[in-house]
Structure 1
């Protein structure tokens, strides 16, 4: 029912605070948007720490910004990556706008190096970030399509004229609905919750997924365990550099076309193919890069193979990806009939007050940077420059 009118709140919270723009998420996309909005005159909405009992009376010429982040610390999803994911093996970390990534040890865990960089960026930019704050819902205040939005959070409410959603996918892992999954007596973990290879030492481990993470975990876990690799389709390995392919005009055009039509974002690998990374080459050299067709069911201690035979396993790692974390936007009814949010640039087609970045064609870090800038430009055009002084 994407063409239905959003459900309005029909009342203002007496304790709501106000910001002209509320950005949700402080990963690469959220930080980029905050940077570009600040450059265009959006000041901090945190300068007045007290809720406004009459937020509708706020000076509309003063453009303000707040960034709400659900994590306890800077770093976005990077702070949650598994320890063995090193800077020398991660794909596509691009500089945040205006501050190059400093030289790093290629052997340093990415979950340490990238959050340190993000924290330094936040401090240097003096961005108005509040954490930890979980956004639970975004609603229209009334029936006016250009009116205010109410952002409900775990730490109170905000009234705003626009939302920049940069929540990514980390909190919405996907696990296939395989028959018998709830009966399996062994260890099951999604790649989101993968800790270290030693957790699987000596086991027979089914690794499910055809993307980059699956290949990384296959190479690592196979050093201490017997691994079986399952994918729905035959993986396609191409002799190319992942980041160049991702930034390629054809790939970007295809992803943007899907986003415009409202198709749920697919994995990047589905557009680029798999590259012969160092870990893929090493897995092939050791003979573990051998794919099996996806199993059809799980038993207490086994999988049912595609041919009907049974193979014993002690653990399953679901490297099966994520979906966009957008449930808090559901009251606005932005989704189209295909299940995704149709976009015009970064703007939701159904509501010009909402921009989605780090979504669809801006899933990559370089794409997130571009989308943050594009959203900021579009919002300035819609809202006007205001009287807030640019910081730079």
Structure 2
């Protein structure tokens, strides 16, 4: 199918995604003077405001998560018992209306391409038409790509295919649509239920089942606690020892998350890539679960049968003994009793496998720009090594090294709500310098 002919109007910035990251970036740009719907255009694949929060599980309340303020409009003090999948979308809706953002939805962006249309000089009124009948042929040259031409953003909308021209593009599509499930032999033979964090809604749906929860992060820990009262039994599988790090709350909590995610995004050192950073605002509840024998990892599985999984010591990480000071990221509490891997291969009967194994950045729409440079390099970004997002080398928090017209917000270190706010502010500064510098 041929791409839709782009609208001839040139937007200064098109933001793809209107979740926390997209709105944070848009809010900063509006504050700097860009007009929504004209210089600034927001596209969102969802049917309504809220981004991925619309799909979070029902038991995730405001008291168990973190909401960061969007620029110029504090979230206030919502009821801690209220579901986040209701509160956050409502907050986003108020924000969109207050700023008049005029989000175009549903608009699922399929590609961002270079065109052969020279980027016009910025007029006093901001963006303007692309020279009437200027050509809009897409450039498919692999490299180098002219960086002084316009970008075409193509999307499927409720009324068909559309395309828009832009001087710059911010990708803020997050990761929710890219669930990661590791390959385990025999998974295709399993006759029970398999689900991922992205598809989970209610613990009651697992009532009476023998549930295996896979994953060593905070989400997996929360799911274990959520499912336990309803399931017939709950077993936990992690490749490496769990590591509970108490990082306080607020900015300190978010900064700790960014530190861990930043190291992982860039490859990190061997010690930092262990995946043991289950950072929690208050570890009391989790320690109690360890003490009663529920929040205890049995190691990792290496084989799946029709209604059983096999735990094996050969499936654990290369350094499964990493308990103690070396296992702590950012300082805090380590609970050795949460790690009791099976010393020998053992089969455990299971009715449901619940994968809490993370997400991949949703960046396939950027493939036509050839930003990918391979896997993330080894080394810790704090040592000066470049940070990568899904193989895209970055400059600063948000810049795509291969193309200064493209910014990424809401991935890796900026995936948390507070991280997205910080990255949105940086992206706005970068955009403003390019447009008006």
2:48 alignment counterpart: 73
- What is the rounded CA distance, in whole Å, between the counterparts of 1:93 and 1:336 in structure 2? 33
Contact 1:302 1:310 in 2 (8 A): yes
Q: Residue 25 in 1 paired to residue 2 in 2?
A: no
- What is the rounded CA distance, in whole Å, between the counterparts of 2:13 and 2:305 in structure 1? 50
Contact 1:206 1:230 in 2 (8 A): yes
1:51 alignment counterpart: none
Q: Residue 127 in 1 paired to residue 120 in 2?
A: no
The one of 347, 352, 365 equivalent to 2:399 is: 347
Contact 1:161 1:353 in 2 (8 A): yes
- Using CA pairs under 8 Å that are at least 6 residues apart, name the structure with larger relative contact order, 1 or 2: 1
2:88 alignment counterpart: 114
Q: Residue 234 in 1 paired to residue 285 in 2?
A: no
- Cα distance, 1:199 vs structure 2: 1.0
**Pair 268,20 (structure 1): closer, same or farther in 2 beyond 3 Å:** farther
SS of residue matched to 2:11: strand
- Cα distance, 1:262 vs structure 2: 8.0
- What is the rounded CA distance, in whole Å, between the counterparts of 2:172 and 2:404 in structure 1? 16
1:58 alignment counterpart: none
- What is the rounded CA distance, in whole Å, between the counterparts of 2:285 and 2:10 in structure 1? 48
Contact 1:71 1:131 in 2 (8 A): yes
The one of 48, 56, 63 equivalent to 1:88 is: 63
Deviates more, 1:234-243 or 1:370-379: 234-243
Contact 1:262 1:335 in 2 (8 A): no
1:175-186 correspondence runs (5 A): 175-186=181-192
Contact 2:67 2:417 in 1 (8 A): yes
1:219 alignment counterpart: 225
1:37 alignment counterpart: 29
| 1:127-162 deviation per Cα after TM superposition (whole angstroms, max 9, x unaligned) | 131111100011111342221111110030011111
| 1:246-297 deviation per Cα after TM superposition (whole angstroms, max 9, x unaligned) | 444x8756755776x688xxx9994854334454245235431111111101
- What is the rounded CA distance, in whole Å, between the counterparts of 2:16 and 2:267 in structure 1? 21
**Pair 220,361 (structure 1): closer, same or farther in 2 beyond 3 Å:** closer
2:346 alignment counterpart: 309
- What is the rounded CA distance, in whole Å, between the counterparts of 1:269 and 1:106 in structure 2? 32
Contact 2:111 2:366 in 1 (8 A): yes
- What is the rounded CA distance, in whole Å, between the counterparts of 1:79 and 1:182 in structure 2? 30
Q: Residue 334 in 1 paired to residue 371 in 2?
A: yes
What is the count of residue pairs matched by the alignment?
353
Q: Residue 190 in 1 paired to residue 196 in 2?
A: yes
- What is the rounded CA distance, in whole Å, between the counterparts of 2:274 and 2:202 in structure 1? 24
